[in-house]
Structure 1
Amino acid sequence: MYGTADVSGSDWEGLFRPVSHRSVMFEFEVPEVDYTQYSNRQLVAVPLVVLGLALAVLGGWYLVTGAPVSPSIDFTGGSELTVESSLSQAELRDNTFDEPVVSVQQVEGENRYIITFDSSNLEPIEETARSSDQMEFLGSGTTSPIFGQENQRLAVVGIGVAFLGMSLLVFAMFRSVVPSIAVVLSAFSDLVIPLAVMNLLGIKLSLGTVAALLMLIGYSVDSDILLNNHVLRRSGGFYESTYRAMRTGVTMTLTSMAAMAVMAISATIFGIELMASIGFVLVVGLAADLMNTYMLNVTLLRWYKYEGVKR
Structure 2
Amino acid sequence: MDIINYITRQSHKPLIVIPVILMVLSLLYLGVFGLNEGIDLKGGTMVTLDVNPSTTSNQITDNIEKTLGVSDVKTSIDGSTATVEIPVDINQVTFEQKFSNQYNILSFKSVGALLTDASITQIIYALVFAFVFMAATVFFVFRDIVPSAAIILSAICNLSIAVGGMSLFGIPLSVASVGALLMLIGYGVDTDILLTTRLLKRKEGSLDDRAENACRTGLTMTITALSAMVVLFLVVIIFIPAASVLEEISAVLIMGLLSDLLSTWLMNLGILKWHAERGGKH
TM-score (norm 2): 0.87
1:1-311 paired onto structure 2 within 5 Å: 31-33=4-6, 35-36=8-9, 38-61=10-33, 68-86=34-52, 87-96=55-64, 97-98=67-68, 100=70, 102-107=73-78, 110-124=79-93, 126-128=95-97, 132-145=100-113, 147-149=115-117, 152-236=120-204, 237-269=206-238, 270-271=240-241, 272-308=243-279
- Tell me the CA shift for residue 149 of structure 1: 3.6
Q: Secondary structure at the match of 2:68?
A: coil
- Matched to 2:264, the amino acid is T
5+ residue gaps, structure 1: 1-7, 12-29, 62-67
- Percent identical among aligned pairs is 31
Alignment partner, residue 64 of structure 1: none
Question: Gapped runs of 5+ residues in structure 2?
Answer: none
Q: Once structures 1 and 2 are overlaid, which stretch shifts more, 40-49 or 116-125?
A: 116-125
Distance 2:19 2:70 in 1: 39
Answer whether contact 1:75 1:145 (CA < 8 A) is retained.
yes
C-alpha distance in 1 between matches for 2:181 and 2:223 = 18
Moved >4 Å (runs of 4+): 145-148
The structure with more helix, counted as a fraction of residues: 2
Count of residue pairs the alignment pairs up:
273
Give 1:275 deviation, angstroms: 1.8
Name the aligned partner's letter for residue 32 of structure 1: N
Question: With CA pairs under 8 Å and 6+ residues apart, which has the higher RCO, 1 or 2?
Answer: 2
Moved more, 212-221 or 76-85: 76-85
Cα distance, 1:135–1:34 mapped onto 2, change above 3 Å:
closer
How high is the TM-score relative to the length of structure 1? 0.79
Q: Report how far residue 47 of structure 1 moved.
A: 1.2
8 Å Cα contact 1:79/1:140 also seen in 2 = yes
Look up the equivalent residue of 2:165 and give its one-letter code: V
Kindly state the Cα deviation for residue 257 of structure 1 after the two structures are TM-superposed: 0.7
- What secondary structure is seen at the aligned counterpart in 2 of 1:195? helix
